[in-house]
Amino acid sequence: MGNVMYAYITHPDTAPDFTKPPTFDPHVGFPNGRKERTIQATREELDAAGVPLDRRDYCVDYFLKLLRCRDQNFPRTVSSCHHEKHDYEVCQYEDYVLRMKEYEREKRLKEREKRIQEMQENEELGD
Amino acid sequence: MATLRGAASLPKIIRPFIARRGLSATAVLSNWNKDWKPGPFPKTPEERAAAAKRYGLRVEDYNVYPDDGMGYGDYPKLPFASGDSKDPYEDWDIPELKRNYGEPLHALADIIGEDRWDANANPRYSYLDMFLTLAGFLTTITVIYILTLPYPLFLPVMPKQYPFNDLYVENGGSPETEPSIRHYTFEAVEETD
């Protein structure tokens, strides 16, 4: 739990708020910007498939594929759809890794901001 | 022939047992619960001696509950000894109850059995000590819980991202005030000339 020590004891000023989305411009450090996250399914498709709200994340395409596979292969839903299930779980894992990366990016940008601010204050004192 | 002669004399033998068997002599009535009820409070030494004999006690061992309206008549006041304080190695007639045949039961025998209350317990720590120890432990845990409420443990991740502007309309927002929220991967857009 190094992050807890970091956030509450050693660096409470530069610790990101894990309850709120990132605060910096998402394109900082990317000259041409970053690729946007997209999904292929539309709202109408999701409503028609009855996908619950907590499944409507950026892996919903894989989830729809899994639902379709289960529907077509009933009752052999486990043996016939384990590839689709694995794809969906890999997508969820990568989504979690992305959230970790966002946290680390927010943390480093906050530290960078603080470093620049201290440098400017030192220059003002030197003059 | 001898067998027939014996059968012919059988009614003569058993008739008295049938004829003389009145209602008051049946096994049911002579063991009715009113026969087990204690007698009235003994007042004279003769009554005390009769009551002690009735319960199988010596007169000097016989003591009685006070006749204050909450007493038990002539039922003997026995030592208040629960099952745990009786010797487990003694050769009891009924080892499960640690009781001998014909031994009078205590008036509260149903509550001071081994499966209920040990009235003569001598605990290593007093009950006040036990209560204070438990209360102190629970108080410490509660205080730690309250003091650390503003500092939740968390994993170093940002909130989960959802499409359709973080499901604004799906979660009850109005389509007119829907914000435009974009999420990005960590792949850089390649330069296009």
For the residues of chain A, what is the DSSP string, one character each? -HHHHIIIII-TTT---TTS---S-TTTT-TT-EEEP--S--HHHHHHHT--GGG-STTHHHHHHHHHHHHHHTT-TTTSSHHHHHHHHHHHHHHHHHHHHHHHHHHHHHHHHHHHHHHHHHHHHH-
Using DSSP's 3-state secondary structure scheme, residue B76 falls into strand
A2 CA: distance to closest CA in chain B (Å): 9
The whole-number pLDDT of residue B120 equals 85
Optimal mutation site among B157, B160, B169, interface A, most CBs of chain A within 10 A: B157
Residue B18 reports pLDDT greater than 70 = no
pLDDT band at B27 (very low <50, low <70, confident <90, very high): low
Cβ atoms of B93 and B99 closer than 8 Å: yes
Query: Could you tell me if A4 lies within 8 Å of chain B, comparing CB atoms?
Result: yes
Matching residue, tokens 């010797």: B87
Tell me whether residues B156 and A95 touch, CB distance under 8 A. Answer: no
Q: What token pair was written down for A26?
A: 């998402």
Tell me whether residues A39 and B163 touch, CB distance under 8 A. Answer: yes
Q: Which residues of A touch B148 (CB under 8 A)?
A: none
Q: Which residue of B has its CA nearest to A92?
A: B160
User: Is the complex ipTM more than 0.95?
Assistant: no
Q: What token pair was written down for A49?
A: 């498939």
For residue range A64-92, what is the model confidence (pLDDT) as tens digits? 999 999 999 999 999 999 999 999 999 99
Report field, pTM of the whole predicted structure over 0.80: no
**Cβ-count burial of B75 within 10 angstroms (0-12 exposed, 13-18 middle, 19+ buried)?**
buried
Q: Which residues of A touch B163 (CB under 8 A)?
A: 37-39, 56-58, 60
Tell me whether residues B170 and A53 touch, CB distance under 8 A. Answer: yes
The whole-number pLDDT of residue B1 equals 54
Residue A13 reports pLDDT greater than 70 = yes
The terminus-to-terminus CA distance of chain B in angstroms comes to 136
A30 CA: distance to closest CA in chain B (Å): 6
The whole-number pLDDT of residue A74 equals 93
Q: What token pair was written down for A46?
A: 């999701």
Cβ atoms of A56 and B170 closer than 8 Å: yes
Q: Which residues of A touch B164 (CB under 8 A)?
A: 43, 56
Residue partners of A20: CB distance under 8 A and separation at least 6: B159
The whole-number pLDDT of residue A57 equals 92
Matching residue, tokens 């290593």: B124
**φ and ψ at residue B25, rounded to 5 degrees:** -100, 0
Tell me whether residues A21 and B158 touch, CB distance under 8 A. Answer: yes
**φ and ψ at residue B76, rounded to 5 degrees:** -70, 145
Tell me whether residues A58 and B164 touch, CB distance under 8 A. Answer: no
Query: Could you tell me if A96 lies within 8 Å of chain B, comparing CB atoms?
Result: yes
Tell me whether residues B188 and A104 touch, CB distance under 8 A. Answer: no
